[in-house]
Amino acid sequence: MSHNTIAINQQMDKFDGHHQVWLFGYGSLIFKADFPFIERRPASISGWTRRFWQGSHDHRGTAEAPGRVVTLAPEPGAVCAGMAYLVTPEEFAHLDHREKNGYLRLAIEISFDEGGSEEGLVYIATEDNAAFLGEAPERDIARQIATSAGPSGRNRDYLVGLAEALRALGKDDEHVFAIERHLADFE
């Protein structure tokens, strides 16, 4: 699959006719909501785990030196904490562009921390996209993050922003926090 997934995402019609749609964010969407939203709630999804396995050629790295950003990997029994945003469908043009580097929209059940759930959308970069970097030792991921930067800034700022946002939510993520600890070795 191409780096640019905008056209593929525009074909998703599951929520056509809806006036509002819940969007689940598990990476920078937790701490950098650069779009208008109606409501925001701490939430989680089940059966997925957050991993720094996606390359960033357009935001936190370049084509020659990609950074690493998070995607979701299926894992039975796992729960991935994040933030849910209630948005209007008009926001998906911006979000499709923001997430164009290999991410596809997926319908998913979102569970809210205060109770209840709703079907909504999440962007996931699967291993068949051209920017997918895959699994690596957390120390190696930290090394790559420490040296990467792109149009949206330093890759380390993305990692640190995510770790701080998870702590503010009171959520633990061993993968993210381990990479953050290793980051100090390369600065």
For residue range 139-179, list pLDDT tens digits in order: 999 999 999 999 999 999 999 999 999 999 999 999 999 99
Cα–Cα distance list, 23 to 13, 86, 111, 130, 162 (Å): 15, 6, 11, 24, 17
Q: Which of 64, 90, 91, 99 is catalytic?
A: 99
Q: Does the active-site annotation cover 99? A: yes
CB 12, CB 110: distance < 8 Å: no
**Predicted confidence band at 1 (pLDDT cuts at 50, 70, 90)?**
very low
Looking at residue 109, what is its pLDDT? 98
Q: What percent of the chain has pLDDT over 90?
A: 76
- How far, in Å, CA of 35 to CA of 126, rounded? 24
Looking at residue 15, what is its pLDDT? 53
- How far, in Å, CA of 119 to CA of 127, rounded? 24
Instruction: Name the least confident of 15-19, 27-31, 157-161.
Output: 15-19
CA of residue 90 relative to chain centroid, distance = 20
- How far, in Å, CA of 102 to CA of 3, rounded? 5
Cα–Cα distance list, 51 to 26, 27, 34, 128, 177 (Å): 10, 10, 22, 15, 11
**Full set of structural domains in the chain with CATH:** 6-186 (3.10.490.10)
CB 27, CB 81: distance < 8 Å: no
pTM (2 decimals)? 0.90
For residue range 87-133, list pLDDT tens digits in order: 998 898 898 888 888 898 899 999 999 999 999 999 999 999 989 99
Between 5 and 168, whose confidence is greater?
168
User: Considering the chain, what is the average pLDDT of its residues?
Assistant: 91
Looking at residue 13, what is its pLDDT? 53
